Amino acid sequence: MGRHRGSNAADNAPDTRRRANRRRRRRGTGRALAAFAAALAILIGLGVTGYFVLGGRLGCASSSLPLQVAAAPEIAPVLTRLADDFNSTDAAKNRCVTVEVRGADSADVAYSITGAGPTMGGTESQVWIPDSTLWVKTVQRDAADDVVVSTGTSVARSPLVLVTTETVAAEADASDTPLSWDNLVPTQALPDQDAPPYQVHVIDPVNSSSGLATLALVSNSVGTEEGSQTRFIAALQNLQKSIAPDEEAAFTLISEAADDEQAPLLVLSEQAAWRHSTRSGSTVHVIYPDNGTYTLDYPYVLRSDAPEVQLAAEDFRAFLTSQEAQRAIRADGFRSADDSTDPEVLTEKHGFRPEHPGELPTPGEQAAKSLLQAWNQLKLGTRLLTVVDISGSMAEPVPGTGLTRMQVTSMAATQGLTLFPSNAEMGLWEFSVALEGDQDYRETVPIRPLDAEVDGATQHEVLTAALTGLTPKPDGDTGLYDTILAAYQELTEGYAADRVNTLLVLTDGNNDDHDSISLNELLDQLEELYQPDRPVSIIAISFGPDVDPEPLEQIAETTRGAAYTTEDPTEIGEIFLSAFALRISGGGGEEE
């Protein structure tokens, strides 16, 4: 028995060991599976959070968040350096974000958002830092589905100043009349005999905040009282004679100015003046206009509604407003958000002042758009045919002048030529009755650009001579209606799509050609000829005590133009500017 039991125990020993080994293997396998599952969970978790090395920057490689910042070109370099510093901070590491800054022209980004102008492309970003809130206001209403949210933060500031040579700055400082926006840009209807001592140059407002702000500053100085629109148009015309396409071209004007020329004054920011003097070593000097100026404010704008992007953008915004970042911004020629400067950068040697020159209000969204519209419409080329009455009544004297109506009209029209740029296309007809056979009109000077060369002279000189030489036809009547129809047909057939096409009528009387078409026939034909997509407008100026203004008012209205009546021919110059104001407002009207 005992042996039998012993025999059984011995026989069962291998089975017991095998079962124990299987239990150990099962326990080992379970532990291995549990460890593998835990490791897998950790790897999955790390994959979700983006970290392969806990707390390590290398873990962001597969899922880092690029925060793209489009900044005005002049501030992009310092922001790029600050972005590099930010990318190494814990805030950037914790969010796994990398800030990338690139320079982008502010107008280019604005036009890409609204589609309102030409753009070079490559303007997409999650953050936009233009040079001025003007652009933000301009685009917000027309942004369509684009997100354009101002954070109310300025990362830098730079007031507009006048930049010139040290000699001119010293002369201006010694003058009894401080320079201000009220006296910088001439706003008279016609040029004075003495040219102003300065010529203000701006960068095209279509592409430049400093240029657009200059329009706003001049508009504010002109005011809103009676006649302000005419003065503003005169100011715009003076500015358009001195446009610079960019900063480099503007500074060239200073370096190349001759001693006998008007002293050039550039309207640019403090930072632009500092940047130029630093790079070129030139001796440009700045002047602060009296009674304040406008300031470029470099707003921080969000262009994304993605929560993770907004959080990252907020971190970078906070970084840029830190004391260390603002110190770096001041070192690059800007004022910090509190308007303080680095006196070792913006030095008194070049005329810079540590105190702010005084803030003038920023134009609103609609004001900015209206200013650009006015500028663009006025900048359009001109194609103008002037028809001048030479009937016998034009020989009558103008009381108090010692001149005839013809002489006063010729002088006013000659002065009016100075309002037009050299590329304006202009021509001249004269009219009475039966000047050439049965024809009431004749071409005196064909339509050509004012700077075109004609037999050794310019078109401007040819027109001036022709206007001076106009002579009334003794006992001549006024063939007004036939002349207007023929001239209108001429302009319609030669319509120039890139220009404002206008017929200017100067007369002292009503139609008294009994063989001509009637007023109703003329109105019907003008209505048929007028094309809204190819508009030719009639501007009529009549003068004299016996003029009936109603026929010309009807004629002008039919072509979406305007009619003006005055008893004083010397007012023709002012009326020219009123006609320009009509172009800006886009509507017609009459003045009595």
DSSP 69-138: EEE-TTTHHHHHHHHHHHHTSHHHHHHTEEEEEEE--HHHHHHHHH-SS---S----SEEE-S-HHHHHH
Give the single-character DSSP code of 246.
S
Residue 1 belongs to some domain of the structure = no
Q: Do 497 and 517 fall into the same domain?
A: yes
Q: What angle do CA 426, 466, 516 make, to 5 degrees?
A: 75
Q: The domain that contains 429 carries what CATH number?
A: 3.40.50.410
Residue 313 belongs to some domain of the structure = yes
pLDDT at residue 281 greater than cutoff 70: no
Domain boundary, last residue among 246, 281, 297 = 297
Q: Do 526 and 409 fall into the same domain?
A: yes
Q: Do 250 and 209 fall into the same domain?
A: yes
Q: What is the mean pLDDT of residues 475-489?
A: 96
Q: How much is the pLDDT for 264?
A: 84
Domain boundary, last residue among 307, 330, 353 = 330
Q: Do 171 and 129 fall into the same domain?
A: no
Label residue 577 by pLDDT band (50, 70, 90): low
Cβ partners under 8 Å of residue 206, min gap 6: 107, 117, 372, 375, 376
Label residue 154 by pLDDT band (50, 70, 90): very high
Label residue 41 by pLDDT band (50, 70, 90): very low
Q: How much is the pLDDT for 118?
A: 58
Q: Do 435 and 551 fall into the same domain?
A: yes
Cβ partners under 8 Å of residue 51, min gap 6: 59, 60
pTM (predicted TM-score): 0.68
Supply the range of the domain harboring residue 104: 65-154+299-330
Q: How much is the pLDDT for 142?
A: 72
Q: Measured between alpha carbons, how far is 145 from 134 in angstroms, rounded to an integer?
A: 20
Structure tokens at 393: 């009544």
Domain boundary, last residue among 272, 297, 322 = 297
Residue 131 belongs to some domain of the structure = yes
The count of structural domains within the chain is 3
pLDDT at residue 384 greater than cutoff 50: yes
Label residue 465 by pLDDT band (50, 70, 90): very high
Label residue 589 by pLDDT band (50, 70, 90): very low
In whole angstroms, what separates CA 557 from the centre of its chain? 31
What is the secondary structure of 379-400 as a DSSP string?
HSEEEEEEEEE-SGGGGSEETT
Q: How much is the pLDDT for 298?
A: 97
Q: Do 227 and 267 fall into the same domain?
A: yes
pLDDT at residue 587 greater than cutoff 60: no
Label residue 134 by pLDDT band (50, 70, 90): confident
pLDDT at residue 297 greater than cutoff 70: yes
Cβ partners under 8 Å of residue 495, min gap 6: 383, 501, 534, 536
Residue 196 belongs to some domain of the structure = yes
Task: Tell me the three state secondary structure of residue 320.
Answer: helix
pLDDT at residue 1 greater than cutoff 80: no
Q: How much is the pLDDT for 126?
A: 95
State pLDDT tens for residues 487-504.
999 999 999 988 889 999
Residue 55 belongs to some domain of the structure = no
Report the interhelical angle of 519-529 vs 480-493 (nearest 10°): 10
Q: How many residues does the chain have?
A: 592
What is the secondary structure of 422-490 as a DSSP string?
TT-EEEEEEEEEEEETTEEEEEEEEEEETT-EETTEEHHHHHHHHHHT----TT----HHHHHHHHHHH
Tell me the CA distances in angstroms from 543 to 432, 502, 582, one per residue in order: 16, 20, 19
Q: Which residue has the higher pLDDT, 234 or 84?
A: 84
Give the single-character DSSP code of 154.
E
Give the single-character DSSP code of 504.
E
Residue 54 belongs to some domain of the structure = no
Residue 515 belongs to some domain of the structure = yes
Give the single-character DSSP code of 227.
T
Q: What is the mean pLDDT of residues 364-387?
A: 80
Q: Do 147 and 177 fall into the same domain?
A: no
Percent of the chain with pLDDT over 70: 81
Tell me the CA distances in angstroms from 345 to 157, 289, 335, 478, one per residue in order: 15, 21, 10, 70
Residue listed under structure tokens 């920023």: 362
* 245-277 per-residue burial string, b: 16 or more CB within 10 A, e: under 16: eebeebbebbeebeeeeebbbbbbbbbbbbbbb
Q: How much is the pLDDT for 6?
A: 41
Label residue 111 by pLDDT band (50, 70, 90): confident
Give the single-character DSSP code of 180.
B
Q: Do 320 and 437 fall into the same domain?
A: no
Label residue 147 by pLDDT band (50, 70, 90): confident
State pLDDT tens for residues 209-243.
898 888 888 888 887 776 677 778 778 877 887 88
State pLDDT tens for residues 45-77.
333 333 333 344 445 655 678 999 999 999 999
Judge whether 44 and 76 are in contact, CB under 8 Å: no
Structure tokens at 567: 């008893």
Q: Measured between alpha carbons, how far is 588 from 103 in angstroms, rounded to an integer?
A: 44
Q: Measured between alpha carbons, how far is 185 from 113 in angstroms, rounded to an integer?
A: 33
Q: Which residue has the higher pLDDT, 12 or 54?
A: 12
pLDDT at residue 145 greater than cutoff 80: no
Most trustworthy range by pLDDT among 9-18, 31-40, 46-55, 569-578: 569-578
Residue 13 belongs to some domain of the structure = no
Q: The domain that contains 171 carries what CATH number?
A: 3.40.190.10
Q: Do 242 and 279 fall into the same domain?
A: yes
Most trustworthy range by pLDDT among 258-262, 316-320, 509-513: 316-320
Task: Tell me the three state secondary structure of residue 172.
Answer: helix
Q: Do 520 and 582 fall into the same domain?
A: yes
Q: What is the mean pLDDT of residues 501-519?
A: 92
Residue listed under structure tokens 């009755």: 433
Q: Do 292 and 438 fall into the same domain?
A: no
Q: How much is the pLDDT for 280?
A: 65
Residue type, 225: E
Listed in order, strand segments (DSSP E) in 313-374 are: none
Task: Supply the mean pLDDT for the chain.
Answer: 82
Label residue 198 by pLDDT band (50, 70, 90): confident
Q: Which residue has the higher pLDDT, 354 or 379?
A: 354
Q: Do 220 and 171 fall into the same domain?
A: yes
Q: What is the mean pLDDT of residues 7-13?
A: 43
